Amino acid sequence: MPDRRCKRVFAMLSDYLDAELPVKKCDDLERHLKGCKPCLAYLESLKNTVQACRRYKVRAIPPPSKKVRESLLAALR
């Protein structure tokens, strides 16, 4: 069961993955991760989520149809 320390670690993991934490905090976080299975599992889950998001390709949104465009223009008038 995660404790208060784990909650602080959870809050830092995103910055940790983005290499945005100061060295001291990284060292503390890594030391905690070595002995905490819930935090390590959360880190792995976060890594997988980030990787999945990076693989996702956003498609271009098609322009509205003529009918939709005319309806929008009529509503604006």
- CATH number, residue 75: 1.10.10
Q: Which helix (H) or strand (E) holds 69?
A: helix 66-76
Q: Note the pLDDT of residue 53.
A: 86
Domain count, the chain: 1
**Number of CB atoms found within 10 A of residue 39's CB:** 22
**15 SS3 class:** helix
Please tell me the pTM assigned to this model: 0.64
pLDDT in tens, the chain (77 residues): 567 889 889 889 999 999 999 999 999 999 999 989 999 999 999 999 989 988 887 788 888 899 999 999 999 98
Q: Report d(CA 66, CA 68) in Å as an integer.
A: 6
- Domain residue limits at 7: 1-77
Q: What is the DSSP letter of 56?
A: -
Instruction: Round to whole Å and give the CA distance between 40 and 54.
Output: 21
Q: Which residue has the tokens 């934490």?
A: 21
